[in-house]
Structure 1
Amino acid sequence: MKNGLLKFITCGSVDDGKSTLIGHMLYDAKLIFADQERALELDSKVGSREGKIDYSLLLDGLMAEREQGITIDVAYRYFTTERRSFIVADTPGHEEYTRNMAVGASFAELAVILVDAAQGILVQTRRHARICSLMGIRHFCFAVNKMDLVHYQEYAYKKIEKEIRKLAIDLDLMSVTVIPVSATEGDNVTKKSIPMSWYHGKTLLEYLEEVNIDIGTEEEGFVMPVQRVCRPNHMFRGYQGQVAAGCISEGDSLTVLPSGESAEVQSILLTDREVKTVKKGDPVTIQLNKEIDVSRGCVFVRGTQIKVSNMFSASLLWMDDSELVQGKNFLIKIGTKLLPATVMKVKYKVDIHTGEHLRASKLYKNEIAVCDIVTAEEIVYDTFTKHKDIGCFVLIDRVTNMTSACGVIRHSLRRSENIVWQKLDITREIRAVKMGQRPVTLWFTGLSGAGKSALANEIEKALSISGRYTMLLDGDNVRMGLNSNLGFEEQDRIENIRRIAEVAKLMNDAGLIVLTSFISPFKNDRERARAIVGEENFIEIYVSTPLEECEKRDVKGLYKKARNGEIPNFTGISSPYEEPERAEIRIDTTEVSLEEAVKYVLGEIENYINKNNKRCDL
């Protein structure tokens, strides 16, 4: 009887022999074509093994990989033996490419972690084991490689095996097997090793063919995140997605989250065929017996309790080159839902060597930590141990669209369940009608001395004279009260802008036109403020006066102090200012009077409001 498909990953430190191991397995098991075998033999003649076959070339296909002798990107291989089918992800060992390794781990059910017999467990070995555990891999095979370099000594193997068993206890690994191998010579890869006759266990291929990965993996109930609403005509409305857990049959009752509405399954399509029942992994279209509010990001559930809230604690791997600071805003993707989220707090990071929990307020590339995260609205999720598909997530940089982190949900935060938004009878719309105005936030940004505060002050006076109800939030004034506890480090600046945006939103809800005058130098922070206030209510006004002109004005003498090193982290001198790329209004105050600037900006505000997001330059 043939076992089911096994998806596994090979990982470990640099030059531990991951690609060589899988290449030798494919070669010995006759799982490559004749032309591939001939090409391998020819390529090996100019390789690094003095004409002997270099099995790693079967996996390392990039020119840079072959030149450097390392794996850079994830290489996927599909192969079948008489007893099982496999998909293997051969991942890079270099710390620089940990992101790529994590991608491979996210799809795998089992990890083959290589350990160099001559060097033992290294930092990257520990990091990869922790990442695999973080990604929910429960079955681990540690291949102690290069046994030929330690003369196949049982003592050398036993010493490393002891280290591995200790690591398995530290990481609470569920299923661990240790096999001594030589990837280059083929010992215990597909055939029993003669020089290691003291080893009586299975070869690596035998282990992979026989291991049972289904033990303890059953998830409770039925879960299906909705990927798409299908409406080919007015007679049919179907909800498409992949079944993440359980099974469902025609006539069963389903609940849709987050709304909590219920309906019965009227029909099920598996691709283009109508069926009565579907199970985990099936791509399906479900039609319900009545119309309810369902859209992309909603989740169908049955027979299980799933969380609906906006705060949770999570373990994450930080993969970005820039550091993570508390208060930073991202897009988060959980299941099929994408929405803004903020890392509220870094609770601790994990020491790769010892597993110790270390206090931290920042994270650097490839560090693992536990953080508290809040989303912009309620989202459907569960803990990773209960439901994998809606218990993992990625954080996406809002400016670059790069994946900055991946993580798994540990538990919901109790405060999210105890705090409920209070709906009020007097709404924002009622207040706006009563005041006879459209409440918006006018976000003035630019260098110190650019003229933001003077311009915002005069515009507020003009709006007030015309009968508008306004409130001006100035950077210095706010820092003397609401934000007096914040400094000028990056995380303090992020929190400064977040608080201002939240206050501006509340004042908009009160019906007021809010003017803010802040340097707000970073694109991410301004985009976050835009998300908090709301795209339709946010008008960014970039006062683009050049640095040279701002220094000439230097009313407060700040530039002079910054040049002398008396003020650290001063925007434009020792800290960067990132120019807005999509400001609705831009104005350089160098060549215009204050009266002309006010007249121009007021005119552009009216144009923007009346002419559907028209962006303007002076």
Structure 2
Amino acid sequence: MSTDSVLRFITAGSVDDGKSTLIGRLLFDSQSLLADQVAALYHGKHKRTADGVPDFAQLTDGLAAEREQGITIDVAYRYFATPARKFIIADTPGHEQYTRNMVTGASTADAAIILIDATRLDYSEHTPALLPQTRRHSAILKLLGTAHIIVAVNKLDLLDYSEEKFNAIKRAYSKLASALDLHHISYVPISALNGDNIVTASAHMLWYQGQPLLRLLENLPVANRNSQLLSAPALFPVQRVARLDGSSADDFRGYQGRLEQGSLCVGDSIRIEPAGQNSTITAIYTPAGQVEQAQAGSVLTIVLADDIDISRGDSIVAADSTLQPTRNISASVCWFDSKPLNATRRYWLKHTTQTVYTRIRQVDYLLDVQSLNHRQDSDSLQLNDIGRIQLSVQKPIVATTYQANPATGAFILIDEATNHTVAAGMITSLV
């Protein structure tokens, strides 16, 4: 683990919790803005704050509709750096309607900041109830395996910087985290608008002995994903077959794509799936030239000793690899479409470089966001529902679980009639 690597993180939570304002304040206080960007904070066309008060949300609300409506619709990416680390931030929407965009932003994140608007909760109970979208986003982060979560309790300036209310929210989220089996959680009380505990410690919350938000982000450990995948069995989904001149005597045929895990060497015996044919690697090319060996994450052109019928969507694996093609998948999914899941129709399943027809054999359960119980009385999923399903694909695919490798364990479902992306899925087991 290393803290000098790039940290990818998202902001998540319910609508109006202050996600865009928080990112704007981070960029502003870390002196990562240009002069014209600073000027826009005070004099922007759609400024929503009082005179003399900067509107930090304008830095991430890039669409005209976002600035006009005062909401985040799309995922906005921003880049900044401190002497300790570089960051890539994804500001994701809080509206339930745009949950699919939150999933997109979270899919590549190393960490997530869950914002909670402290003014919107009911403190009449010892443990206040969290808003549904806070619970839904937390459940999605669990499915995606997000390594670190920072719970930022926002707008405490409107509650006289109350330690009691901060502790009540901490109790509420700790209960949620326990139910979802979330780990590595930090809690920080903030005011995004005023800058309390964002970059420097707040003089208004001396009772908080922890680190301010930016310091927490700088010190989060990030695992080297490539090193974790290097020891896994080689898996090379073919994206394109490259031909130079099929009519010449020295006909070149190369198979292009990205090595998703493991390593490959010239001379290695390999197997092509799902056909099960064998061959040997005679050459490996990268954008920098010819190499003898390649490791996970490399973009390659592979040449084989035999002319074999290989096309986009096939996979090259080591000859002795335990990876086998399968047609049956168990997966957790988040449903994106306004039309409910229909088990009687076919969907396209897009996985790595291939797209195949699939049928949903059954819905194992639906996650009730409020109670976090698994409801087994449903045979469908509605918009923004999270559940576990069983699928059968028309053509065998070579895949892994999402936990083993997110790149080869994730997929999307596409409606064959409308071409709409209807769900994102994470493979939990292969049958």
Structure 1 pair 252–205 and aligned structure 2 pair: CA distance change class (3 A): farther
Between the two structures, name the one with larger relative contact order (CA 8 Å, sep ≥ 6): 2
Gaps of 5+ in 1: 414-618
In structure 2, what residue type is equivalent to 1:230?
A
Give the aligned partner of residue 237 of structure 2: 225
- Candidates 174, 178, 183, aligned match of 2:183: 174
The corresponding residue for 2:426 is 408
Alignment of 1:302-313 (within 5 A): 302=318, 304-313=321-330
Partners in 2 of 1:332 and 1:176 — Cα distance?
34
Question: Hey, what does 2:139 align to over in structure 1?
Answer: 130
Look up the equivalent residue of 1:218 and give its one-letter code: Q
Alignment match, 1:336: 353
Query: Displacement of 1:272 after TM fit?
Result: 4.2
1:147 to 156, 173, 176: 156
| Counterpart amino acid of residue 115 in structure 1 | I
AA aligned to 2:138 is: A
Counterpart secondary structure, 1:381? coil
1:335-354 residue CA offsets vs partner (Å, 9 max, x unmatched): 11101111121121010012
Question: What is the DSSP-based 3-state SS (H/G/I as helix, E as strand, rest coil) of the residue aligned with 1:227?
Answer: strand
Please report how far the alpha carbon of residue 305 of structure 1 lies from its aligned counterpart in structure 2 after TM superposition.
2.6
The separation in 1 between residues aligned to 2:307 and 2:47, in whole angstroms, is 66
Structure 1 residue 251 displacement after superposition: 3.2
1:222 offset after TM fit, Å?
A: 2.4
Off by >4 Å, runs of 4+ in structure 1: none
Q: Among residues 243, 251, 256, which one is paired with 2:272 in the alignment?
A: 256
Q: Residues 134 and 45 (structure 1 numbering): CA distance in 2 closer, same or farther, change over 3 Å?
A: closer
Aligned 8 A contact 1:44 1:53 in 2: no
Of 373, 378, 382, 2:396 maps to: 378
* Structure ranking higher in helix proportion: 1
Pairing 1:347–2:364 present: yes
Alpha-carbon offset, residue 9 of structure 1 = 1.4
Kindly state the Cα deviation for residue 326 of structure 1 after the two structures are TM-superposed: 2.1
- Displacement of 1:315 in angstroms is 1.0
TM-score w.r.t. the length of structure 2 is: 0.90
1:215 and 1:166 map into 2 onto residues whose CA distance is 30
The yes-or-no answer on 1:244 pairing with 2:260 is: yes
Structure 1 residue 202: Cα displacement: 2.1
Q: Deviations over 1:511-552 (max 9, x none)?
A: xxxxxxxxxxxxxxxxxxxxxxxxxxxxxxxxxxxxxxxxxx
Specify the SS of the correspondent of 1:92.
coil
Structure 2: give runs of 5+ residues left out of the alignment: 122-129
- Is it true that 1:294 corresponds to 2:306 in the alignment? no
Partners of 2:56 and 2:208 in 1: CA distance: 24
Question: How much does 1:133 deviate?
Answer: 1.9
Partner of 1:394: 412
Go from structure 1 to structure 2 and tell me whether the alpha carbon gap of 1:321 and 1:90 turns closer, same or farther (over 3 Å shift).
same
CA contact (8 A) 2:3 2:222 kept: no
In 1, the alpha carbon distance for the partners of 2:305 and 2:234 equals: 18
Change (3 A) 1:45 1:377: closer
Does the 8 Å CA contact 2:3/2:219 hold for their aligned counterparts?
A: no
| Residues in 1 aligned to 2:300 and 2:356: alpha-carbon distance in whole angstroms | 24
Contact 2:46 2:67 in 1 (8 A): no
Bigger drift between 215-224 and 21-30 goes to 215-224
Q: Which residue of 1 aligns with 2:124?
A: none
Alpha-carbon distance in 1 for matches of 2:178, 2:353: 35
Decide which moves more: 337-346 or 282-291. 282-291
- CA displacement 1:229-281 (0-9 Å, x = unmatched): 11123432221112222333333333322223333332222224223333332
Q: Which amino acid aligns with 1:118?
A: T
- Distance of 2:309 and 2:148 partners within structure 1: 40
Change (3 A) 1:196 1:222: farther
Q: Does 1:24 align with 2:7?
A: no
Provide the residue aligned with 1:418 in structure 2.
none
Corresponding residue for residue 332 of structure 2? 315
Cα separation, 1, equivalents of 2:84 and 2:300: 30
Classify the secondary structure of the residue corresponding to 1:205: helix
**Alpha-carbon distance in 1 for matches of 2:215, 2:295:** 29
- For residue 361 of structure 1, report the CA deviation from its aligned partner: 1.4
Query: How far has the Cα of 1:46 moved from its partner?
Result: 4.1
Secondary structure in structure 2 of the residue aligned to 1:325? coil
Structure 2 vs 1, CA of residues 350 and 2 (structure 1 numbering), >3 Å: closer, same or farther?
closer
2:125 alignment counterpart:
none
Equivalent AA in structure 1 for residue 259 of structure 2: V
Aligned ranges 1:382-461 → 2 under 5 Å = 382-413=400-431
Amino acid at match of 2:162: Q
Compared with structure 1, are the counterparts of its residues 53 and 44 closer, same or farther at alpha carbon in structure 2 (3 Å cutoff)? farther
One of 275, 291, 298 as aligned partner of 2:291? 275
The separation in 1 between residues aligned to 2:292 and 2:158, in whole angstroms, is 58
Report the Cα distance in structure 2 between the residues aligned to 1:249 and 1:310, rounded to whole angstroms.
29
The structure that is strand-richer by fraction is: 2
What is the alpha-carbon distance in structure 2 between the residues aligned to residue 299 and residue 362 of structure 1? 32
Distance change in 2, residues 1:265/1:197 (3 Å)? farther
Opposite residue 137 of structure 1, the aligned amino acid is: T
Match of 2:71 in 1: 70
Counterpart position of 2:59 = 58
- SS of residue paired to 2:119: coil
Q: Percent identity?
A: 41
Partner Cα distance (1:307, 1:17) in 2: 46
How far has the Cα of 1:8 moved from its partner? 1.6
Query: Aligned in 2, Cα 1:152/1:410: closer, same or farther, shift over 3 Å?
Result: same
In the aligned structure 2, how far is the partner of 1:13 from the partner of 1:348? 24
Size of the aligned set, in residue pairs, is: 413
| Secondary structure, aligned partner of 2:228 | coil
Query: Which amino acid counterpart does residue 395 of structure 1 have in structure 2?
Result: L
Inter-CA distance 109–280: structure 2 relative to 1 (3 Å threshold): farther
Q: Counterpart of 1:96 in structure 2: which amino acid?
A: Q
Residues in 1 aligned to 2:182 and 2:261: alpha-carbon distance in whole angstroms: 23
The residue type equivalent to 1:411 in the other structure is S
- Cα 1:23–1:147 change in 2 (3 A) is same
CA distance in 2, matches of 1:247, 1:199: 48
Of structures 1 and 2, the larger Rg is shown by 1
1:6 has 2:16 as partner:
no
Alignment partners' CA distance in 2, 1:74 and 1:21: 15
Provide the secondary structure at the position in 2 that maps to 1:77: strand
SS at match of 1:389: helix
Q: Is the 8 A contact 1:45 1:51 kept in 2?
A: no
> Structure 2: which amino acid aligns with 1:37?
V
Cα 1:312/1:94, change in 2 over 3 Å? same
CA contact (8 A) 1:116 1:145 kept: yes
- Distance verdict in 2 for CA 1:44–1:378, change over 3 Å: same
CA deviation after TM superposition for structure 1 residue 2, in Å: 6.7
Q: Give, in angstroms, the shift of residue 332 of structure 1.
A: 0.6
**Residue in structure 1 matched with residue 35 of structure 2 by the alignment:** 34
